[in-house]
């Protein structure tokens, strides 16, 4: 893996067409953590004006995978994850913050909290997720 974790992570992120389509931004990374943000706009809302659950799910999946992948030292994939929606996502920005909580040689168990933020910077928790992230080589070998 590249010695500069930020350059490595941002390179992977910019290579994701779906993330670019949604207008998502990778705003912070650490050796076992990641933060992704999306500005709220009508195109990502459902019929009640809340950010669509699929967008929250995308944020959870991608933030979990980045946190786990960084903890594992490279390319990774989601093996599974679960999300709990707590409150309707209404705010200017949606923020997903993920952290690896347990890591072995081949997998990382990660947790993610998703918030909405107001223009003043106040944050409100709207969803939580947990997932298992595996090295991409491990997942690929299971498919053969």
pLDDT in tens, 59-102: 999 999 999 999 999 889 999 999 999 999 999 999 999 999 99
In 3-state terms the chain splits into helix, strand, coil percentages (rounded to 5) of 35, 40, 25
Confidence band for 138, pLDDT divided at 50, 70 and 90: low
Task: State residue 75's pLDDT score.
Answer: 86
Residue 43 C-alpha from the chain's centroid:
20
Residue 55 C-alpha from the chain's centroid:
11
Interatomic CA distance for residues 90 and 35, integer angstroms: 19
Confidence band for 144, pLDDT divided at 50, 70 and 90: very low
Closest Cα partner for 74 from 140, 8, 141? Answer: 8
Mean pLDDT of the chain: 93
* pTM of the complete model: 0.91
What tokens appear for 122 in the block?
Answer: 């106040």
Q: Phi and psi dihedrals of 94, rounded to 5?
A: -105, 130
Work out the average pLDDT over 28-37: 97
């Amino acid at each position: 893996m590249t010695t500069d974790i930020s350059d490595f992570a941002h390179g992977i992120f910019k290579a994701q067409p779906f993330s670019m389509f949604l207008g998502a931004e990778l705003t912070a990374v650490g050796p076992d953590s990641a933060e992704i943000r999306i500005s709220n706009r009508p195109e990502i809302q459902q019929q009640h004006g809340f950010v669509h659950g699929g967008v929250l799910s995308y944020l959870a999946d991608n933030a979990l995978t980045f946190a786990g992948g960084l903890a594992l030292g490279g390319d990774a994939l989601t093996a599974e994850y679960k999300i709990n929606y707590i409150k309707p996502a209404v705010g200017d920005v949606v923020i997903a913050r993920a952290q690896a909580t347990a890591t072995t040689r081949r997998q990382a168990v990660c947790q993610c909290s998703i918030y909405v933020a107001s223009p003043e910077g106040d944050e409100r928790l709207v969803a939580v997720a947990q997932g298992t992230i595996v090295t991409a080589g491990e997942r690929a070998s299971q498919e053969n």
